[in-house]
Amino acid sequence: MKAIATALVKAQKAFGPALKTSTNPHFKSKYADLSACVEAVIESLNDNGIMLMQPCHESESGVIVETLFIHESGETFSAGKLHVPAAKQDPQGYGSALTYARRYSLMAACGIAPEDDDGNAASKPQSAAKPAAKFNLAASLKWIKEASTPQESIMRARNAYAKAETDDDRKAIQELGNIYKESA
């Protein structure tokens, strides 16, 4: 365990910040997404002979992610397992839970934190927060299109559809979501 511990200390000294590069239009907040969190640490880990793995483990109610560091010496270090329940029992629900689990497990394992995170805003009851912003179709469509995978676009389309206020807004979101379903 000596080689990996020494390498992790050296790597952590060079970790960058998890930049808040993504925007959640529904909460008007910026946050560090999974790719920003990985980007903040991966080069430093690799430069110090450490590979990052995040294997998944079986769970009927959500996902379990383990953040694992493997050193070139063969030594390994597990930062433990994190369970995140799936909000919906469908592929999009599990995919969303997996992204959150990977992101939070990685940040905890590496001791990094984003400058801001939409998770806090999303978990606050609306009555405790300032009044919800009026639904913005253009911002929602842009948010859907900026997703990194067709599956994420579909998940975002479902989220926006649930928040839409008019039938015309829901129709526009559904049409865009169908494009991504065909390519998934």
In this predicted model, what pLDDT tens digit does every residue of 29-54 receive, in sequence order?
787 888 888 998 999 999 999 999 99
Nearest by Cα to 56 from 97, 18, 88, 87: 97
Q: Is the pLDDT of residue 26 over 50?
A: yes
DSSP string, 61-104: SEEEEEEEEEETTS-EEEEEEEEEE-SSSSHHHHHHHHHHHHHH
- Note the pLDDT of residue 133: 58
Beta-bridge mates of residue 66: 81
- pTM, rounded to two decimals: 0.60
pLDDT tens for residues 94-136? Answer: 999 999 999 999 999 999 887 544 444 444 444 444 445 577 8
Q: Which domains does the chain have, with CATH numbers?
A: 2-131 (3.30.390), 134-184 (no CATH)
